[in-house]
Amino acid sequence: MAIPMVLEIVFPPSLVLIAASVLSLLSLTILGVLETREIHLKYSKFFNASTSSSSSSISFKVPSRVGMLLIYTPAFLVGVASFWLFPDGDFRFLLLKSAITIHFFKRILEVIFIHNYSGGMSLDTIIIILVSYFFVSLSLIYTQTFNQGLSEPSIDLKYLGIVLFLIGICGNFYHHCILSKLRTKGGKEYKIPKGGLFELVICPHTLFEILGFLGISLISQTLYSFSTTLGIAVYLMCRGYVTRKWYMSKFEDLPKEVKAVIPYVF
């Protein structure tokens, strides 16, 4: 009996899909809850944040630009490799592979050409985020193979997904450009962002990233993609919540009506 047939008997696709969906949602939610408990992934404003009074010092520091490239490149390469590993497939599968590849390629371009970094990242944080993005990219593509040959969903959401994905990456890029202009090259100071949706929320780039992943989940229309998007949204909203608290502690003139991620709501 061929190995793939044995694997399908021991690990049926439905069981793999459910297990991966639960694991993805649970792990991302835990990371988000830890952020609200001041146990942060150490990058950006929270690089020097202490997780507890007894926590050990950061063992190894990596420049932020290098760290971010390390984080996004493996997930991008997974997207590129998927066109070679899975050359066949329906139009939905092609859209999904393309969206994932474009998302992480955009991130790499931003790291190289857009963002101005002032600090570093701890190696453990790089490993956690790198593995998370790599697993998300790989599993979104792999679990989509289970749907090949099956009938289309009764309600087709992939075209709405394309629209949301494009809105997400464009809005995210636009607000990243605004952030990049706040700091002079080599500067380390933080300022209250102005322009775009920064007038309403402190993390509009986070809002648009969530919209981008929601678009990917609508393109995919699988249990795993929806659970992963929900987990990513929980983590990013928690990170946005503590980011707003950080700004409020540093800037007394930050308008109280400015929310964290969702205008007028949260």
d(CA 195, CA 183): 15
So what's the pLDDT on residue 85? 94
What residue ranges do the domains of the chain occupy?
A: 59-151, 154-265
So what's the pLDDT on residue 19? 86
pLDDT tens for the chain, residues 1 to 266: 454 444 444 345 678 788 889 999 999 999 999 999 999 988 888 877 654 444 444 568 899 999 999 999 999 999 999 999 999 899 999 999 999 999 999 999 999 999 988 778 989 999 999 999 999 999 999 999 988 888 889 999 999 999 999 999 999 999 999 999 987 666 678 889 999 999 999 999 999 999 999 999 999 999 999 999 999 999 999 999 999 999 999 998 999 999 999 999 99
Assigned token pair, 140: 């979104």
pTM for the model stands at 0.91
So what's the pLDDT on residue 50? 54
